[in-house]
Amino acid sequence: MQNTQTSNSLSRAQVESYWENGFLCPIPAISAQQCEDWRAELEAIESNWLDNGLPRALNVYKRVNAHLVVPLAYEIAAHSAILDVVEGILGPDVLLYSTEFLIKEPHTKHVVTMHQDLAYWGLGEIDGILTAWLALTPATPQSGCMDFVKGSHKSPIIPHEDSFDELNLLSRGQEIKVNVAEEDKSSGALATGEMSLHHGLMIHGSGANTSDDRRIGVVMRFLSPHVKKPNNAPDYGVAMRGNCDTGNFTLCHAPKGLFHPEDLLLYEEIRTEQAKVMMAGADRKAAMYA
């Protein structure tokens, strides 16, 4: 569903580059001061809510659908500078599918193995979804920025295998069953406030953070609401722009407050349904980022 329109934030050449290569970066988006403020707010949440009686560990809410229970995550995803860029690829109708804070602590060995997002989402091999990745702190080769395999989005879903490795930041430790040579990787390095876009079939991953600071990324997945899930399986999204009331997704609202009780109930409903797809076929009993 390649969109031929361009937004105020993407040139035609950038749009063409995205569809040709499967990713686009770096894209200047947010001021360094705004990123610093958002980081401070996130780290205040981490400090204040770590052991504050939430039904699940704080990291679960940071990693899975944060926009449903953390107003900060919704605020970032709803920022006009980000939505303008997304609209340049998906068109005027934009649905927010998921949001997470993906953090690598300094001098840690956690990695994200090479994988394709759509391998586990139950959406099929579609063009109508993309990931927008915003750097709240520098994402460099030293801090573990993403690497992309240029043009790999033109291939179908490749078989993956699960490792459940504790040093793998993915829910199942999933990795494609193909070795990717270093020379085939393109760096997705980002300065603070820059963002990248990548296609759901793009092969990508990232290394460890050997730097002295946290590598904090905000990962936002946006959908065209015109996408239909196979077998009409239930799924959810938040309307961000245009006409999202297509009947293909249950539309949710912005969070009522930080970990508001009503939002937490909705969060569990959505998590249960999505886990049926995300964790289907796992070799062992597991839950998403439990």
User: Which CATH number does the domain housing residue 217 bear?
Assistant: 2.60.120.620
Report CA torsion sign: 15, 179, 176, 26.
negative
* pLDDT of res. 101: 97
* pLDDT of res. 155: 87
* pLDDT of res. 162: 67
The residue range of the domain holding 81 is 12-278
Contact 282, 163 (CB under 8 A): no
CB-CB neighbours of 135 under 10 Å:
27
Sheet holding 146-149, edge to edge: 112-115, 204-206, 146-149, 185-187
Total count of domains within the chain: 1
Using CA atoms, how far apart are residues 111 and 15, in angstroms rounded to an integer? 29
CB-CB neighbours of 161 under 10 Å:
12
pLDDT band at 183 (very low <50, low <70, confident <90, very high): confident
Q: % helix / strand / coil in the chain, to the nearest 5?
A: 30, 25, 45
Whose structure tokens read 């994200």?
112
Report if residue 181 sits inside a domain. Answer: yes
Report CA torsion sign: 260, 262, 264, 270.
negative
Residue type, 134: L
Identify the residue with better confidence: 168 or 87. Answer: 87
Q: Residue 107 pLDDT more than 90?
A: yes
Q: Helices (H) and strands (E) in the chain — how many of each?
A: 6, 13
Q: What's the average model confidence in pLDDT over 98-126?
A: 89
* pLDDT of res. 6: 43
Mean pLDDT of the chain, nearest integer = 88
Strands 194-199 and 94-104: what pairing? unpaired
Q: What's the average model confidence in pLDDT over 1-21?
A: 77
Q: Residue 45 pLDDT more than 70?
A: yes
Report if residue 258 sits inside a domain. Answer: yes
pLDDT in tens, 133-178: 999 999 999 999 999 999 999 988 887 766 555 655 555 545 566 6
Q: Residue 289 pLDDT more than 60?
A: no
Q: Quick one: what percent of the chain has pLDDT higher than 90?
A: 69
DSSP 111: B
Identify the residue with better confidence: 247 or 158. Answer: 247
**Helix residue ranges per DSSP H, the chain:** 12-21, 32-49, 58-63, 71-77, 80-90, 261-278
pLDDT band at 283 (very low <50, low <70, confident <90, very high): low
Please compute, for residue 41, the number of CA atoms within 13 A of its CA located in the half-sphere on the CB side. 15
Report if residue 283 sits inside a domain. Answer: no
User: Coil, strand or helix: which one is 24?
Assistant: strand
Q: Give the residue from 185, 213, 198, 196 showing the smallest Cα distance to 103.
A: 213
Identify the residue with better confidence: 39 or 165. Answer: 39
Q: Give the residue from 116, 127, 192, 125 showing the smallest Cα distance to 160.
A: 116
* pLDDT of res. 282: 47
Using CA atoms, how far apart are residues 156 and 95, in angstroms rounded to an integer? 24
